[in-house]
Chains A and B, each alone.
Chain A
Amino acid sequence: MPGQRLSQIEGSVAVAQAVARCRPSVIAAYPISPQTHIVEGLSDLVRGGELIDCEYLMAESEFGAMSACIGASAAGVRTYTATSSQGLLFMAEALFNASGLGLPIVMTVANRAIGAPINIWNDHSDSMSMRDSGWIQLYAESNQAAVDLHVQAFALAERLSVPVMVCMDGFVLTHAVEEVELPEQEQVDAFLPRFVPQQLLDPKEPVSIGAMVGPEAFTEVKYLMHAKQVQALDEIPRLAADFEEMFGRPGGGLVAPYRTDDAETVVVTLGSALGSVEEVVDELREDGVRIGALGITCFRPWPLDEVRAALAGASRVIVVEKAFAVGAGGIVGQNVRLALSGLPATVYDVVAGLGGRPITRASLRGLFRDVLEDRMDSRSLHFLDLDVELVERELARTRLGGTGPHAEHMLRALVGVGAVPPGPEAPVGEES
């Protein structure tokens, strides 16, 4: 592609570059791993004068960061932030506020597990916990996708006046150095029009934003939020097409079907796991298995028709997801079931990659084989690579009246210190 630049670059740095080329006027952020490199990169670009006419606000918390974004966006400027995990939860109240006010803020979520137990590694429990916050959620499969989705996210947010979250797997993507084609400034300028706010705090035309709304119209305000998200289901493919025309590579769209045409079994997943899933699909295809994959790029709004169409021919659907609804089951899985209602497919919910556990090709192959050979029960939730022995031992211990934190006991069991009698060398902690 003429004028485009391929570089070996860390995912976070690539995203920072892409965001900078979208020319935000206010960035307000608070550091948390694994988001840090993104906001540090942006801070450098602002300080170094590469990103001009931009205020970088060092918030005192994520709640403050999102709140500052709310203020900045209501004052009519393009606004960006990034966070992860605990930080996203710390923002929760402000997330619903931003979407309720219809403010087109763009945020990167560098996906990370939520404690306790505290864990800095990747899974999707953070963004999934905010799936109903009224933000559009786009999931990046690779760093190239992350870069490209950010450029589209600003356009989407501003067209609809809805906030957009771009989710990229923490460490797996944010800290991976790989080849990325960065969008050129002129291209971004041509693709992304100047931000024209749909509401604005302006002394010349004073308006009240965020006034109280009672039962008379609350339903209607919420209906419009829903309607706008539904509108995004048309807007996103249009933007992806425009993106492809401008940048010469696919924009992403709502879903990413892979070898699904004649597939009897389709594996649904989102984020960086898609790459490994596709590789295993290729391997099994070579063995003559009619299997395919479906990547969910847009999880909110839920592209029900597109998912249904992509899965219509499948008799087995395996949903591999990095989060779950404790006590209920899969989250993406439930949405997939909704999309498949009335169709005969059997859906298998599989939780994988929690707290950074690698989703290996070997494990995926084993899982798909188990499903293909009818060794899996579709009515229960499966945990990929669960250490059953460890869990059983801990359950047995508590059944015998053992107390104390599960996490610590299981860690001890893993490293074998449980066998050491308490003494001066023993780790400090309570004994059951």
Chain B
Amino acid sequence: MTTVDLKLYQVGTFAAGNRLLPLEDRTVQAHPDRSNSITSGHRACQGCGEVLGARYVLDAAMRATGGDLVAVNATGCLEVFSTPYPESSWQLPWLHSLFGNAPAVASGVAAALRATGRGHTRVVGQAGDGGTVDIGFGALSGMFERNDDVLFVCYDNEGYMNTGVQRSGATPGGARTANTKAIGPEPGNAFGQGKNMPRIAMAHEIPYVATATVADLHDLERKVEKAMTFHGARYLHVLVPCPLGWGSASKDTILLARLAQRSGIFPVFESEGGEVTAVTPIRRRVPVEDYLRPQRRYSHLFGAHPRPDVVARIQAGADRSIARYGLLADSSEK
């Protein structure tokens, strides 16, 4: 009689039930005393990567600081869906000021805490990609340059989602948005250098920079906890798929985040003092097409008038980043 070994769980896969992991490997969310920093009742879309990312980031930061945390939020989806009048989802002290000033506001909070002997209370600033790489860029660079004691988190959904999906400086080439429609000879967003915020952060030589996705929440939590062991300016850039803006199925948020990493489109790495210290290797590489196809924002590349040239260009970008970070270094599929 043939027998099949039944694997109830595998550590390191994404299929694992959290409950089956050893205690120390479980996420903050598995603990009954988790802080629920952003609690139920918010109005995020079904499958929103941003709220998932924010929940894990803040609960991990709360655990790392023993709940001694203040959050500063830029205008954007996260701010709007978390505070539908007269409710608030926030279970930690939370301040929203403007779209473009979250890093400076966070610096001000940190300065006030330091000046009054409350430096033990830590500060997290958070914004979407627009609030980070575009309108808040100067303030963020100032915060980095002064090395203020703030962890700044960018939830990157690659566009201005809150205002109806317009392009940002983090929108990838070829992607359709409300103001880069799939019309004209070059449909979708123009290809440029983009704004590679993690690298720009590294150029400031701040103590810690990391990227992560919502596909690997353990990794995300670990990076938040690590970030909290440093003082000074820290930057965490989290890829958070947006079903509404990307034209993807709500159930595919995690899948898309994973494909972004495995295609090389979104390199996952850590850096200290401006040097890359660790990368998450690509375990099973996929062509960018696998990542692009499920998203309607790229559908014009595959429809009646396919644009293999554009897909090839996106692939070339992914190849470049795989080479730059050595993402296949530990793999046989070089």
A71 pairs with B83, CB closer than 8 A: no
B113 at the interface (CB under 8 A from A): yes
Interface residues as binary, B105-117 with A (CB distance below 8 Å gives 1, 0 otherwise)? 1111111111110
Stretch with Cβ within 8 A of B (4 or more), from A73-81, A254-262, A276-284, A347-355: A73-81
Whether A94 lies near B97 (C-beta < 8 A) is yes
**Chain B residues with CB below 8 A from A387, complex form:** none
The residue that B142 contacts in the complex, of A26, A61, A75, with Cβ under 8 A, is: A61
A161-189 residues with Cβ-Cβ distance < 8 A to B are none
Q: Is A206 an interface residue (CB 8 A)?
A: yes
Q: Please tell me if the beta carbons of A206 and B108 are within 8 angstroms of each other in the complex.
A: no
| Docked complex Cα distance between A68 and B100 (Å) | 12
Q: Find the residue from B79, B114, B121, B142 having the highest chain A CB count within 10 A.
A: B142
Cross-chain contact of B98 among A68, A97, A214, A217 (Cβ < 8 A): A97
Q: How far is the CA of A411 from the CA of B67 in the complex (A)?
A: 63
Q: How far is the CB of A96 from chain B (nearest CB, A)?
A: 9
> In the complex, what residues of B have CB within 8 A of residue A28's CB?
107-108, 111
Q: Which of B88, B104, B111 is within 8 Å of A63, CB to CB?
A: B104
Q: A70-B108, A212-B79 are in contact. Are A63 and B115 (CB under 8 A)?
A: no
Please judge, given known A-B contacts A68-B104, A201-B93, A216-B85, whether A60 and B112 are in contact too, CB under 8 Å.
Answer: no
Q: Is A49 an interface residue, CB under 8 A from the partner?
A: no
Task: Give the A-B contact count at a CB cut-off of 8 A.
Answer: 158
B139 touching A94, Cβ below 8 Å: no
B-contact bits for A82-124, CB 8 A (1 contact / 0 none): 0000000000011001000100000000000000000000000
Q: Which residues of A are found within 8 Å of B113, using beta-carbon distances? A: 75
Say yes or no: A68-B111 contact (C-beta < 8 A), given A206-B92, A212-B79: yes
Question: Which residue on chain B has the smallest CB distance to residue A69?
Answer: B108
B146/A208 in contact, CB under 8 A = no
Tell me the interface secondary structure of chain B in the complex. mixed
B276 beta carbon closer than 8 Å to chain A: no
Docked-complex contact B121 and A67, CB < 8 angstroms:
no
CB of B95 closer than 8 Å to a CB of A: yes
- Scan A41-71; emit 1 where CB is below 8 A from any B CB, else 0: 0000000000001110111110111011111
Knowing A25-B112, A57-B111 touch, does A101 contact B97 (C-beta < 8 A)? yes
A59 to B2, CA, bound (A): 71
- Bound CA–CA A93/B98 (angstroms): 8
B115 surroundings in chain A (CB, below 8 A): 25-26, 53-55, 72, 77
Decide if A68 touches B83 in the complex (CB within 8 Å).
Answer: no
Q: Across the interface, do A63 and B100 meet the contact criterion of CB distance under 8 Å? A: yes
Q: Are B138 and A60 in contact (CB under 8 A)?
A: yes
Question: What is the interface size of chain B, counting residues whose CB is below 8 A from a CB of the partner?
Answer: 45
The answer to whether A97 and B97 have CB atoms under 8 Å apart is yes
Cβ of A211 under 8 Å from chain B: yes
In angstroms, how far is the closest chain B Cβ from the Cβ of A399?
42
Q: Using Cβ atoms and an 8 Å threshold, which residues of chain A touch B105?
A: 67-68, 70-71, 74
CB pair B85–A71 under 8 Å, yes or no, is: no
Known: A26-B115, A94-B98, A203-B70. A72 touches B109 (CB 8 A): yes
Cβ-defined partner of A26 (8 Å) among B67, B80, B108: B108
> For residues 210 through 235 of chain A, which have their beta carbon under 8 Å from a beta carbon of chain B?
210-214, 216-217
Residues of chain A contacted by B86 (CB below 8 angstroms): 213, 216-217
Closest residue of chain B to A71, judged by CB? B108
Q: When the two chains form their complex, are residues A63 and B97 in contact, meaning their CB atoms are under 8 A apart?
A: no
Is residue B315 contacting chain A, with contact meaning CB distance below 8 A? no
Q: Do A55 and B112 touch (CB < 8 A)?
A: yes
Say yes or no for A207: interface residue by CB 8 A criterion.
yes
The residue among A64, A65, A70 with the most chain B CB atoms within 10 A of its own CB is A64
B91 near A74: Cβ-Cβ < 8 Å? no
Distance of A74 Cα from B113 Cα, bound (Å): 11
**Extra A-B contacts (4), CB below 8 Å, given A26-B115, A28-B111, A75-B108:** A64-B101, A72-B112, A74-B95, A211-B88
What are 27 A-B pairs at a CB distance below 8 A?
A26-B108, A55-B111, A55-B112, A55-B114, A57-B107, A60-B145, A61-B142, A63-B104, A64-B104, A64-B142, A67-B98, A67-B104, A67-B105, A71-B104, A71-B106, A72-B111, A74-B95, A75-B70, A75-B108, A76-B116, A79-B112, A201-B93, A206-B90, A208-B90, A209-B94, A209-B96, A216-B85
Chain A residues with a Cβ under 8 A of chain B: 25-26, 28, 53-55, 57-61, 63-65, 67-77, 79, 93-94, 97, 101, 201-203, 205-214, 216-217
The 4 closest A-B pairs by CB, nearest first: A71-B108, A60-B142, A68-B108, A210-B96
